[in-house]
Amino acid sequence: MNDNFTPDRDGEEMEPIILTDEEGNEYFLDLLDVIEYQGDNYAVLYPSDDAEVDSDEEEGVVILKVTPYEDGSAEFDSVEDTEILDAVFEMFMENLRQAFDEEE
């Protein structure tokens, strides 16, 4: 999956990221966070409000490995390793906890 990728949000509301799979299906996702883990970057994404969600599918965050390119675009790849997924998700949750603690 490919798309232009700019992880530096500076508090601005971002447009949904539109990813296209090999079959031409488009997915609208909001970027929640970018986590660095073991030298690689992982995007934590959530289906955008604009996205059509299949009622049979379970909604939740999507974690994809990000390979950025010099031209500002990036490749997003699925992650099969459950240990990586668990570690990245835990780091994301810790970031959320810290953000909520700072707001209080």
Nearest 5°: phi and psi at 36?
-95, 130
- Collapse the DSSP code of 64 into the 3-class scheme (helix H, G, I; strand E, B; otherwise coil) and give the result: strand
H-run or E-run covering 44: strand 40-47
d(CA 53, CA 13): 22
Over residues 2-50, the pLDDT tens digits come to 444 444 445 556 678 888 888 999 989 999 999 999 999 999 999 987 5
For residue 36, the cross-strand partners are 41
pTM for this prediction: 0.75
d(CA 37, CA 63): 12
